[in-house]
Amino acid sequence: MNKTSIEQNQINQIVQFPANGIKLEGALAIATEAQGIVLFAHGSGSSRHSPRNNFVAQVLQSAGMGTLLMDLLTPREDATYDTRFDIDLLTRRLERATQWLREQSQTRLLKIGYFGASTGAAAALQAAAIFGASIGAVVSRGGRPDLAMSALERVQSPTLLIVGGLDEIVIDLNREAYDKLKAEKHLAIVPGATHLFEEPGTLQEVARLAADWFKRYLGATASKKTPQTKIRRRTSPLLG
């Protein structure tokens, strides 16, 4: 680890770790009393510098979570269209980042969650299927869980799917994925939001929903293993 700063009882670090011959880089932020840590998986054509993911990360930090925003691809890989949609490659990178968190003294005891956007959501769900109940929770923002359809039945982590109310195609794709999930799950549709949640107040709603979900499943009161429960049915704007 390097480039470390400590501000208001929070450690901020730019970190690097190897993954199959390349180095991945990320921004790690951990409060001294963090209850869990959320690993962000960005979407195609994005990076750890995504302003939307950074905004959500700040809200999660304020809610007592550590965060790791990482680049899943090198700049050269990200320049290739096919690589951006290589969900298996993105999953392997996310697996490596998860293993790395478990190896570090500052994070190895923290419960881990995934926050995935767009194609990153598919990678998050595939990785959650691999790691089983050790992944405490998954949140998808405008995600493509349909790209991980074959893995969804094996996901044990409580999963929150957040979709914009005006993102009709992605709503349909998320409903299909929702039906495949066997773990505790919830589908939240944010009224008036398009795919990138650029409308006033919509990204704030995404962050609020994500923070509530992670506090529930990664927080101090969360059990070590979340039992499978019946799905809670709610009326619009929260469906699922």
**Global pTM exceeds 0.95:** no
- Give the mean pLDDT of 100-118: 95
The pLDDT mean for the chain works out to 87
Alpha carbons 99 and 79: distance in angstroms, whole number: 26
Is 128 within a domain? yes
Do residues 207 and 23 touch, judged by C-beta distance below 8 A?
no
pLDDT, tens digit, 9 for 90 and up, residues 171-228: 999 999 999 999 999 999 999 999 999 999 999 999 999 999 999 999 865 544 433 3
- State yes or no: pLDDT of 132 exceeds 90: yes
Domain presence at residue 92: yes
Domain that holds residue 153: 32-65+73-239
Percent of the chain with pLDDT over 70: 85
Examine residue 232 and state whether it is found in any structural domain, yes or no: yes
- Among residues 179, 180, 186, 141, the alpha carbon closest in space to that of 162 is found at 141
Instruction: Return the ∠ at Cα 180 (arms to 176 and 186), rounded to 5°.
Output: 80
Torsion angle (degrees, nearest 10) of CA 192, 52, 117, 179: -30
Q: At 230, phi and psi to the nearest 5?
A: -70, 150
> What is the arithmetic mean of pLDDT over 134-158?
97
Query: Can you tell me whether residue 139 is helix, strand or coil?
Result: strand
Residue pLDDT, tens place only, 197-207: 999 999 999 99
What is the predicted pLDDT for the residue at 1? 44
Q: How many domains does the chain have?
A: 1
